[in-house]
Amino acid sequence: MSNKEKPEWLEELEKVPLTSRLRRKESLKRFNTWRVGGVAECLIDVVNAEDLSLLLPFISKHRISWFILGKGSNLFIPDTVWPGIILHLSGEFKSWVPIEENNSSTCKNRVTAGAALADVTFAQRCVAQGWGGMEFLIGIPGTIGGAVAMNAGAHGGETADFLQEAEWMDMEGNLHSSARQNLEFRYRYSDLMGNYGRIITSAVFELQQSDPETVKKKLLECQQFRMEKQPFNQPSCGSVFKNPPGDFAAHLIETSGLKGKIRGGAQISPIHANFIVNLGNASSTDILSLIDTVRETVFSKHSINLESEVQILQSSVYG
């Protein structure tokens, strides 16, 4: 492609001294767990905070459409061209560092985890330490940054229950640290979301002291639950809808007669009705059609408006 066809901002971006890899016209299918989506004009594998602190002010200055992602779970990406920048955290953002206490008698079982660290990896590393409480992360196919931003949870536990503080970067490239009590969390929500201009870089958690065998047993129970109750071997985004007060989205979808319904290459899972799976060749239109069908049918039969748990790829704030 000739330079004339490049966006002006892209020519300027190529002059920024980054360690991170910049890719053009990158398919987004392998960057989300639904395995659907179009092409990004520019995707950057951001490997450290220094590069992120250069990129965010650049995005603000040039008013570029942008989005940040980790493993791309809980995310719907349309089959269209994304005209701006996708920031894909990797490298140093995958860290996992236990916090050493000066006085061993006051050990707080704390660990700092990078925003790009996989939830599964976090849960597995806690086993050897005998740290319990967050075993539920073994069944969530996302990253720590996403878990904090969306207050991910399962089996009666939520990420915010164990969070001590979060480190985040503003659109001017400045790092901040916020204690848990100064942040707002509720069911599948926090005010530390990328589209609010706060980019999580790492988080500190305090876990429950146990022993490795007990933690491992609970971890395996959570893992087994997922294998038996969820379509773990098919591409999906996880739960599509939030549970309404006093009920479960899956129950409402199933009793509306929608379990197993197919639209194109997508299906409402016959294993768990709150999962929409890619049968192999689903388009984003197929998935969106099923989402709309679920909303309309559940409202018609139960007078309940299901709220989506899934984020849609759309431009975040400029700053």
Q: Which of 73, 202, 239, 269 is catalytic?
A: 239
CA distances from 32 to 14, 267, 311, 312 (A): 26, 17, 12, 12
Closest CA to 253 of 291, 309, 282: 291
Alpha helix segments (H runs only) across 104-211: 119-129, 144-149
- Give yes or no: 239 in active site: yes
Residue with structure tokens 């894909």? Answer: 88
Q: For residue 90, how many other CB atoms are within 10 A of its CB?
A: 16
| Spatial CB neighbours of 63, under 8 Å, sequence gap ≥ 6 | 318
Catalytic one of 41, 92, 158, 309: 309
3-state SS, one letter per residue, for 26-44: EECHHHCCCCCCCEEEEEE
Among residues 35, 188, 226, 263, which one is catalytic?
188
**Short-list 237, 226, 152, CA closest to 189:** 152
Contact 134, 207 (CB under 8 A): yes
Active site residue 188: yes
What are the φ/ψ torsions at residue 117 (nearest 5 degrees)?
-70, 130
Q: H or E element: which one contains 53?
A: helix 49-62
Q: Is 315 an active-site residue?
A: no
List Cβ neighbours of 270 (8 Å cut-off, separation of 6 or more).
259, 260
**Two tokens, residue 176:** 């901040």
**Annotated active-site positions, please?**
188, 239, 309
